[in-house]
Amino acid sequence: MRDLFHDELDEIGAGVAEMIRLVAVAMEQATGALLDGDLNRAERVIEADGRVDHLRTDLEDRAFQMIARQQPVATDLRVLVTTLHLVADLERMGDLALHVAKIARLRFPELAVPEEARDVIKQMGDVAHSLVLKVGDVVDGRDISLANAIEAEDDSMDALRRKLFTLVLSPRWAHGTEAAIDMTLLGRYYERYADHAVAVARRTIFIVTGERPVPAPNGVSPLT
Amino acid sequence: MRDLFHDELDEIGAGVAEMIRLVAVAMEQATGALLDGDLNRAERVIEADGRVDHLRTDLEDRAFQMIARQQPVATDLRVLVTTLHLVADLERMGDLALHVAKIARLRFPELAVPEEARDVIKQMGDVAHSLVLKVGDVVDGRDISLANAIEAEDDSMDALRRKLFTLVLSPRWAHGTEAAIDMTLLGRYYERYADHAVAVARRTIFIVTGERPVPAPNGVSPLT
């Protein structure tokens, strides 16, 4: 029979799963808004971020109160402390999706992404989405067998960011400095989104294995 | 008479103060390396970041063990949980200083920052340094009277970032796309460094007042 404590822990877990779902949708929609120049979709992503922020605050408070009142030990305490970290990463992923949406909004009715960069940005959006779905599977089912696949997708994201820089720095780039700045920021936002997703997966795996993950990536060096 | 628990808490506090000192020096030295094109200084910043990462892991472990073993309540628990957040922010500030140093290294023996952007970047470095010193005072002395000054400096940083964009987007910008990308990334690194510094101050103030701070800034909208 489950006790009240573990029911509460399950509720917090469901909240984390909901945050993962929301930030997955946010980045997917932000990428769509960006590539289609869809102002309404961009606005919806921007408005929806408040829900992610609210969930973070709520889950952080609940985890803190459970630690304070129930004084859990061992794995239960580790799950709660890890929750504090996960919700911080997930809130940040929501912010990064929001930043992508804001670039779409800023350039409307123009398209922010020039034709020759569309494919790379689309791939960055695809990798972000595939990554966050895998992270959801890790967190839901504590399925640590996805760890390697997640690291590989993080590497793909870094490679795509380098490809984006190569395009922008090519002598054939004919879209000026403003578009170059947009591509630089977009590359950074997708890369950081992936970094935070990986951090969530690593933290969750730490709970299962008890082995501290290697440090989170600093992000690729600029332009290298 | 102090008990063992509070002695340990003081040691953790000293570790956080040391992290603040290290990330303050890191950004100051990274800015110097960037503006002077000083490769050795850039290398030293990059090497020194390991110490910040190590302190973060160590303090996180110690805070977790104290929660697990001593089951503190009320303010003591809040201090320990806040420590988990502070060290994450401080580690990230170290990473951002490292990113600045890497741009200096990447462009060596050239100067990464064109003449007309030097003044803005120097001011960003100055604001970053002044900000982190104030944050150190807040954390050391629990002096929450600096809260307003810290928010004002964060606003200055955002204004400097906008100024940097204005320079880069000016028709007079004659340094091409590569330098534009560097300025975009530098602007982002200084801004995020300031955001994390503000988050540290807000978290600390939360311990003193018990009032949850307003949400951390998402960062300025790109180019606006």
Q: Which two tokens stand for residue B166?
A: 């204005």
Confidence band of A211 (pLDDT split at 50, 70, 90): low
Can you give the pLDDT at residue A206? 82
> Does the distance separating the beta carbons of A177 and B177 come in below 8 Å?
yes
Tokens 């951002």 correspond to B96
Nearest CA to B191 among B166, B151, B219? Answer: B219
Confidence band of A213 (pLDDT split at 50, 70, 90): low
Q: How far is CA B128 from the centre of its chain?
A: 7
- Give the pLDDT mean for A173-186: 96
Q: How close is the nearest chain A Cα to the Cα of B222, in Å?
A: 7
Can you give the pLDDT at residue B74? 81
At A138-170, the pLDDT tens digits run: 998 767 788 889 999 999 999 999 999 999 999
CA–CA gap between residue B18 and residue A113 (Å, rounded)? 44
Q: Of the candidates B81, B168, B212, which has its C-beta nearest A181's C-beta? A: B168
B108 touches A: beta carbon within 8 Å: no
Nearest CA to A27 among A130, A75, A98, A83? Answer: A98
Can you give the pLDDT at residue A141? 78
Kindly list the residues from chain B whose CB atom is less than 8 angstroms away from the CB atom of residue A51: none
Global confidence as pTM: 0.93
Confidence band of A214 (pLDDT split at 50, 70, 90): low
Can you give the pLDDT at residue A33? 98
> Does the distance separating the beta carbons of A181 and B180 come in below 8 Å?
yes
Q: Which residues of B153-175 are buried (b: 16+ CB within 10 A; e: fewer)?
A: bbebbbebbebbbebbeeeebeb
Q: How close is the nearest chain A Cα to the Cα of B178, in Å?
A: 7
Q: How close is the nearest chain B Cα to the Cα of A65, in Å?
A: 10
> Does the distance separating the beta carbons of A106 and B222 come in below 8 Å?
yes
CA nearest to B77 within chain A: A68
Question: pLDDT below 70 — which residues of chain B?
Answer: 1-2, 142, 210-224
One-letter-per-residue 3-state SS of chain A:
CCCHHHHHHHHHHHHHHHHHHHHHHHHHHHHHHHHHCCHHHHHHHHHHHHHHHHHHHHHHHHHHHHHHHHCCCHHHHHHHHHHHHHHHHHHHHHHHHHHHHHHHHHHCCCCCCCHHHHHHHHHHHHHHHHHHHHHHHHHHHCCHHHHHHHHHHHHHHHHHHHHHHHHHHCCCCCCHHHHHHHHHHHHHHHHHHHHHHHHHHHHHHHHHHCCCCCCCCCCCCCCC
Whether the pLDDT of residue A56 is over 50: the answer is yes
B190 touches A: beta carbon within 8 Å: no
CA–CA gap between residue B180 and residue A195 (Å, rounded)? 24
- Give the pLDDT mean for A94-113: 98
CA–CA gap between residue A128 and residue A27 (Å, rounded)? 8
- Under 8 Å between Cβ of B223 and A106: yes
> Does the distance separating the beta carbons of B181 and A102 come in below 8 Å?
no
CA nearest to A94 within chain B: B218
Q: What is the mean pLDDT of chain A?
A: 92
Kindly list the residues from chain B whose CB atom is less than 8 angstroms away from the CB atom of residue A98: 218
Can you give the pLDDT at residue B33? 98
Kindly list the residues from chain B whose CB atom is less than 8 angstroms away from the CB atom of residue A212: 57
CB atoms within 10 A of CB B152: 10
Can you give the pLDDT at residue A221? 43
Q: Which two tokens stand for residue A33?
A: 């808004």
Kindly list the residues from chain A whose CB atom is less than 8 angstroms away from the CB atom of residue B222: 99, 102-103, 106, 181-182, 185
B214 touches A: beta carbon within 8 Å: no
- Give the pLDDT mean for A93-109: 98
Whether the pLDDT of residue A210 is over 80: the answer is no
Can you give the pLDDT at residue B145? 83
- Under 8 Å between Cβ of A194 and A154: yes
Q: Is the peptide bond before A109 cis (omega within 30 degrees of 0)?
A: yes
> Does the distance separating the beta carbons of A185 and B180 come in below 8 Å?
no
One-letter-per-residue 3-state SS of chain B:
CCCHHHHHHHHHHHHHHHHHHHHHHHHHHHHHHHHHCCHHHHHHHHHHHHHHHHHHHHHHHHHHHHHHHHCCCHHHHHHHHHHHHHHHHHHHHHHHHHHHHHHHHHHCCCCCCCHHHHHHHHHHHHHHHHHHHHHHHHHHHCCHHHHHHHHHHHHHHHHHHHHHHHHHHCCCCCCHHHHHHHHHHHHHHHHHHHHHHHHHHHHHHHHHHCCCCCCCCCCCCCCC
A210 touches B: beta carbon within 8 Å: no
ipTM: 0.91
Kindly list the residues from chain A whose CB atom is less than 8 angstroms away from the CB atom of residue B71: 71
CA–CA gap between residue B197 and residue B170 (Å, rounded)? 31
CA–CA gap between residue B64 and residue A56 (Å, rounded)? 21
At B146-165, the pLDDT tens digits run: 888 999 999 999 999 999 99
